[in-house]
Structures are given as C-alpha cells and as structure tokens.
Structure 1
C-alpha cells in the first residue's frame, strides 16, 4: 500500500475563531490546494480512500482532493486530529491493508512524526510537511508498518504550483 500524508491547506488565523476546530481554509488555501489536487490527478495518482482529520480545514482539503477526482470515498478519522495516536491508525491498517493507495489528511507536526515512525521506527521531529504538501510512503502488505515503510516522496506544494 502507498500512503500519502497530506497536510491541510492554508487556514484562517487562529485568533479569529472561537476554537481551532472551526478554522476554515482561506481563499488562498483553497486555490493552492485545488491546484495541488489537480496536479496529483494529472500524474495519475488515485486514492482508494481519503482518511481525514475531523477538523474543518482538513475536511475541506479532503473534499478538494475528492472534487479533483482523486477518490470517491472520504472518512473522518479522529486519530488524524492534532496529537492523534498513531497506534489507532496502525490497528486500522492491520484490518485495511488491502487498499492500494490512501491519503491521510491531517496536521503538522503529527504527519511528519507519523512518517518518521513509519519509515524509521521512531519519532525525530525532523520531517516537516508544508501546508498542502505531501509525504509518500510505501508500506509492506502485512505486519506492522512501523519502521517498515519506504519513503518515496517529500513534496512541498510549490512543486505542484
């Protein structure tokens, strides 16, 4: 399975919203994320499923990916919220490793930390996913993915624009 860890697009200023969960993508965030989604589609990548953080900006990012024709299915997945537990995703993966490609839409630093744990088996807090950026990792077909992934892409959004 290939996983694409995708950070949400540019979001509204925290100070303008009552809670972090309510922060939407800005107009610029929508525009840039839409372009990234179109470029992903143009190179022929398709997702069997998009799992997304339940926070608004991540859900909007997932919807833009879906609108670009990258997947028919989106599911909210609570562990992708900030400070989510990767072990809950590992359990999910154990039951769902039959997918060919999935997108995980979430937040930094969690996505970078998850990628490090999947590739190197430990969190170093060194990988950074820019807004609307992507980390691509190939996973083994069986067993725990932690420490077993093969990094194949660390792509900032500017490469797509």
Structure 2
C-alpha cells in the first residue's frame, strides 16, 4: 500500500496589523522570517520532498510557503495560491485536499488558525494546537486523496 503525506504548516509570525492594513496584507515579522528560514533548513537537512504546496493568498502565508519551497528547491509549477485556504472551514479544506491529483504523494497546506488547527485535529483524531510556524506531518494509508474525506491519519508527527 502506498501512502500519502500531508504537511500542515501554520504561517510564520506576522507583524501586528495596523489600522489601515488589511489582514491579508500583513507581512512576516523579523522573528517569523528567522523561524521559517530555520524550518526550511531543517526540512532540507531531513531531505523532505514536497510534490505540491497550496497556500493561502495572505502575504504572510505566501512568504512562508515561498521560503519553504526555495529551501527545498521546488518547481514553481507545484506552488498554488488558493483563496479558499484563507479562513476556510475544515470541510472546505478537506474538499480541497480530496481534489489533489493522485500523482502528488507529499502535499503541504500553508494556512491560518483556527482552520488549520481544526484540520490537524480532524486528521489526527485528537486535539492539536498549532502555534506560528508549526508543522505537522500526517501519513495516510491510501493511494487517492479522495479518501481524506473518510479516513484519519495512520501516523502524525511534528517537525519543529
């Protein structure tokens, strides 16, 4: 049985929103940039491979995803910005994942709380908390992402 691996990454720490700055436009803070660069180096050293990254359109999420993609030498064609990821309900995120092509075995979603922590809790079958720049890796014993709608992870770990 082949497996699928889902990586759930909460964006790195962003600057506090200014009164006139829309939430989606908030960039990463210095600490956020440092944290995600360190995570990217760690993933590179562990030889983590990603077939696809899907990120929220928020600046802080895109920047987080881009840094990880760069550290892992990913192709730009396997990097998607999906508006659905910003503020999505768990069911919508599961639908998004279930639509991922079978050829992609290792997929990362870069998003926000509370939806990402809710998704992590759902796939793990227990309560999960994700602080900024937290990365959860969940493995599944199936060949088709459509099964994510009905099956829980067979194993999950945190990579930071």
TM range, normalised to the smaller chain?
0.7 to 0.9
The residue aligned with 2:47 is 44
TM-score (norm 1): 0.83
Work out the number of aligned pairs and report it.
152
* Structure 2: gaps of 5 or more residues: none
The residue aligned with 1:109 is 114
Structure with the bigger RCO (C-alpha within 8 Å, sep 6+) is 2
4+ residue runs over 6 A deviation: none
Once the two structures are superposed, what CA deviation does each residue of 1:81-111 show, in whole Å capped at 9, x if it has no partner? 1234533542552451331201110011211
Question: Given the alignment, which residue of 46, 53, 58 partners 1:55?
Answer: 58
The residue aligned with 2:137 is 136
Instruction: Write the distance in 1 (CA, Å) between the matches of 2:105 and 2:90.
Output: 23
Instruction: Write the distance in 2 (CA, Å) between the matches of 1:18 and 1:75.
Output: 24
Instruction: Write the distance in 1 (CA, Å) between the matches of 2:73 and 2:131.
Output: 20
Matched, 1:83 2:88: yes
* 1:17 Cα deviation from its structure 2 partner: 4.9
CA RMSD across the alignment: 2.1
* Structure 1: gaps of 5 or more residues: none
The residue aligned with 1:152 is 156
Instruction: Write the distance in 2 (CA, Å) between the matches of 1:49 and 1:84.
Output: 21
Contact 2:139/2:153, CA 8 A, preserved across alignment: yes
